[in-house]
A and B are shown apart, each in its own frame.
Chain A
Amino acid sequence: MRKYVLLRGFYSLVTLWLLVTIIFAMVRLTGDPVAMKGEIGADATYLERIKHDWGLDQPVYWQYTGFIGNLLKGDFGHSFEKSLPVRDIYFERLPNSLKLGFAAFVISLALGVPFGMLSALKVNTWWDNAGKMIALLGLSMPGFFVGLVLIIIFGVQLGWLPVLGKGSSAFVWSNPATWAPFWFRDWPHLAMPAFALGWYFSGAMLRITRSGMLDVLGSDYIKLVRLKGVPERMVVAKHALKNSLIPVLTFAGLNLLIMVNVAVVIEVIFNWPGVGQLLYDGLSNRDFPMVQGVVLMSGLMIVMLNFVIDVLYGYVDPRIRLSR
């Protein structure tokens, strides 16, 4: 077991290192950020100074080793465009993304799990088909389309919901008084983006719940429980649900990370000041440290989650830990 955990840990590190390297190389192919900071007709000395400030006058391998060294110290560098440390900006934005991500997560669970269970219990009935349809529609409508339709109906035509940003409440790390109220205010601002984002993921949720339920319902264990004469309602509520929720939750965890870190299109449409918008701004401004930082943070979270899942599965199922 120890060897297995160590091996998985090592693999995770290798994955992260590869990710760091890919993203480092990739952003450097997108163009020269110095030219973007300067004005048309800017004097050369000014551009030289920026280049020096950003460390772009050094050879690439030197930039790379410096970058890795700083990463190990937890320093993501300075944003080119926003002139502040990437870490500060990222953590300033993170609560906004978490708020949106959690809300979308709840919506995706609320839509996905009950419908998934229903359609598993009533295979090939009206319920099953309706559930599948909702799931498929969610998966098939691009986020920006859902967003635009919501905006026009609830924002413009009915005027019920605000269309701009996240509202006035902000999460300020240095001010603990803002920590709690932040999560409970400005829900009207949250409603549309969270729904647009959550619906998309509810489709996948529904599928997983449905197939997980079917797996469990078809298992010998449940057959045995039924044979013992446990009422069907209890079978579902106590035994089947409990067992089928494990894959649902692991998958949901991954979804949550994705929603928090890379809800680019939804955040752009709704002007939601989250991490996804930060990433998009960074990409369009060739803000290398920003892009690197955000992608790495999301990669780090995903790799860590995968590692935890791998280890847990290894505990539960010895076959896995021996096969790899």
Chain B
Amino acid sequence: MATILGRATEIGGVSRAARRSYSWVREIPLVPLLLVTVLVLAAVLAPVLAPHSHLDPVKPTPGQCQAKYGMADCPYVDNMPPFWFSQGTFATPLGTDYLGRDLLSRLMYGARISLVVALTGTLFAGAIGTLLGVLAGYMGKWWDQIIMRVTDAWLTLPSLVFAILLSSVRGPGVWNIVLILALVFWSRYSRAVRGEVLALREREFVRLAEINGVGKLKIIRRHLIPNVMNTVMVLFSLQVGVAVIIEASLSFLGVGVPPPEPSWGLMMAQERESLMQGKWWLAVFPGICITMLVLSANMLGDWLRVRLDPQLRNR
């Protein structure tokens, strides 16, 4: 009985009135939602939507070869500007990079990398951190001491530095970055979750379940984890943005996603020199993509935080 009551009041943290009227749906900030939708669609449908290959150069016309190199035939034409420049064409709407690859297609595939890496990485971090936080908070004693001391030490390690260090252990690669993100960010969850569990442990429904002889594992599974989900979700939404930036930074520093895969951070690193030549679009578009994704993740995270944390409702 207590269990049911406890869960019913806690889930989602959204008041019953609000839930019934579905008014919260209307409160979702539209702009970030739209941005995220666009990026997710671009990522998922990249193989269908992308005008060209993201790894191979766009085959140029003889006219383009003649104009650029004075050759009848060439493997590719590098650094085509976007369509609004006089040499630009709609075939490559945002232009081509130094290897004659279509920038738009690369950006779309880049969205895949960013989203997959950030989401899975944060998910794993959340899973590890939540589990450890619940264990520390609920089991107490030595569990608590050990887990929290390690968490403290982990939190003093600056995330990017730690990530660079781990990447030189693991070497480059998409899944290695996922692993790195999980290893770096779990401590953010365990801290918060532990605090939550300390409070929950004293709550009636947990006490009652204990008195009724419900096993520890079951209490963790049935009562604690569902009830810390709000906190975890808020943290998750805020961490996704950070994870995108960390992935981009690692790739920018050359220890992240290996070329020729088009990670946004990597594309920016590769085109730093073009930036100096006034070909700003090559580095700026990936930068804008990163900013868009992180910005909308942060805005949605903010919204979620306000929704799920009743104390913040009016801020």
Physical interaction between A and B? yes
Interface residue stretch chosen among A98-106, A143-151, A166-174: A143-151
The distance in angstroms between the C-alpha atoms of A261 and B269, with both chains bound, is 23
Tell me the B residues contacting A by CB distance below 8 Å: 149-150, 152-154, 156-158, 160-161, 164-166, 168-169, 241, 245, 248-249, 252-253, 265, 268-269, 272, 275-276, 278, 280, 283-284, 287, 290-291, 294-295, 298-299, 302, 315
Task: Tell whether, in the assembled complex, residue A280 and residue B249 are in contact, meaning their CB atoms are under 8 Å apart.
Answer: no
For residue A92, give the distance in angstroms from its CB to the closest CB of chain B. 20
For residue B294, give the distance in angstroms from its CB to the closest CB of chain A. 4
Query: Which residues of chain A come closer than 8 Å to B164, judged between CB atoms?
Result: 264, 280, 283
Task: Tell whether, in the assembled complex, residue A30 and residue B169 are in contact, meaning their CB atoms are under 8 Å apart.
Answer: yes
Nearest opposing residue in chain B for A22, CB measure: B153
Query: Which residues of chain A come closer than 8 Å to B287, judged between CB atoms?
Result: 141-142, 145, 148-149
A268 sits at the interface (CB 8 A): yes
Known: A140-B298, A283-B165. 18 other contacts (CB 8 A): A19-B153, A22-B157, A31-B168, A136-B295, A136-B298, A144-B249, A144-B252, A152-B275, A156-B275, A210-B315, A262-B158, A262-B160, A265-B160, A265-B252, A265-B253, A291-B165, A295-B157, A295-B161
Query: Which residues of chain A come closer than 8 Å to B295, judged between CB atoms?
Result: 136-137, 140
A314 sits at the interface (CB 8 A): no
Query: Which residues of chain B come closer than 8 Å to A302, judged between CB atoms?
Result: 156
For residue A174, give the distance in angstroms from its CB to the closest CB of chain B. 30
Tell me the A residues contacting B by CB distance below 8 Å: 11, 14-16, 18-19, 22-23, 26-27, 29-31, 123, 136-137, 139-145, 148-149, 151-152, 156, 210-211, 214, 258, 261-262, 264-265, 268, 279-280, 283-284, 286, 291, 295, 298-299, 302-303
For residue A140, give the distance in angstroms from its CB to the closest CB of chain B. 4
| Set A14, A30, A123: member contacting B315, Cβ < 8 A | A123
Task: Tell whether, in the assembled complex, residue A18 and residue B315 are in contact, meaning their CB atoms are under 8 Å apart.
Answer: no
The distance in angstroms between the C-alpha atoms of A29 and B168, with both chains bound, is 9
Q: Can you sample 20 A-B contacts with CB below 8 Å?
A: A11-B152, A18-B150, A19-B153, A22-B153, A22-B157, A123-B315, A139-B241, A140-B294, A141-B287, A142-B245, A142-B248, A142-B265, A142-B290, A143-B249, A144-B252, A258-B158, A262-B160, A264-B161, A298-B156, A298-B158
| Set B157, B275, B294: member contacting A148, Cβ < 8 A | B275
Query: Which residues of chain A come closer than 8 Å to B294, judged between CB atoms?
Result: 139-142
The distance in angstroms between the C-alpha atoms of A70 and B116, with both chains bound, is 44
Query: Which residues of chain A come closer than 8 Å to B165, judged between CB atoms?
Result: 26-27, 30, 283, 291
Task: Tell whether, in the assembled complex, residue A268 and residue B253 are in contact, meaning their CB atoms are under 8 Å apart.
Answer: yes
Query: Which residues of chain B come closer than 8 Å to A280, judged between CB atoms?
Result: 164, 253
For residue B251, give the distance in angstroms from its CB to the closest CB of chain A. 10
Query: Which residues of chain A come closer than 8 Å to B153, judged between CB atoms?
Result: 15-16, 18-19, 22, 299
Prevailing SS type, chain B contact patch: helix
Query: Which residues of chain B come closer than 8 Å to A152, judged between CB atoms?
Result: 275-276, 280
The distance in angstroms between the C-alpha atoms of A136 and B292, with both chains bound, is 11
The distance in angstroms between the C-alpha atoms of A11 and B157, with both chains bound, is 16
For residue B147, give the distance in angstroms from its CB to the closest CB of chain A. 12
Task: Tell whether, in the assembled complex, residue B291 and residue A148 are in contact, meaning their CB atoms are under 8 Å apart.
Answer: no
Query: Which residues of chain A come closer than 8 Å to B268, judged between CB atoms?
Result: 144-145, 148
The distance in angstroms between the C-alpha atoms of A268 and B166, with both chains bound, is 19
Task: Tell whether, in the assembled complex, residue B161 and residue A139 are in contact, meaning their CB atoms are under 8 Å apart.
Answer: no
The distance in angstroms between the C-alpha atoms of A279 and B165, with both chains bound, is 10
Query: Which residues of chain A come closer than 8 Å to B241, judged between CB atoms?
Result: 139-140
Query: Which residues of chain B come closer than 8 Å to A284, judged between CB atoms?
Result: 168
Residue of A15, A264, A291 with most partner-chain B CB within 10 A = A15
Query: Which residues of chain B come closer than 8 Å to A16, judged between CB atoms?
Result: 153
Query: Which residues of chain A come closer than 8 Å to B272, judged between CB atoms?
Result: 148
The distance in angstroms between the C-alpha atoms of A261 and B160, with both chains bound, is 12
Query: Which residues of chain B come closer than 8 Å to A23, judged between CB atoms?
Result: 157
For residue A297, give the distance in angstroms from its CB to the closest CB of chain B. 11
For residue B195, give the distance in angstroms from its CB to the closest CB of chain A. 11
Task: Tell whether, in the assembled complex, residue A19 and residue B290 are in contact, meaning their CB atoms are under 8 Å apart.
Answer: no
Query: Which residues of chain A come closer than 8 Å to B168, judged between CB atoms?
Result: 30-31, 283-284, 286
Query: Which residues of chain A come closer than 8 Å to B249, judged between CB atoms?
Result: 142-144, 265
Query: Which residues of chain B come closer than 8 Å to A123, judged between CB atoms?
Result: 315
Query: Which residues of chain A come closer than 8 Å to B269, judged between CB atoms?
Result: 144
For residue B142, give the distance in angstroms from its CB to the closest CB of chain A. 13
The 8 closest A-B pairs by CB, nearest first: A18-B153, A140-B295, A140-B294, A145-B287, A262-B158, A299-B156, A15-B152, A30-B168
Task: Tell whether, in the assembled complex, residue B291 and residue A140 are in contact, meaning their CB atoms are under 8 Å apart.
Answer: yes
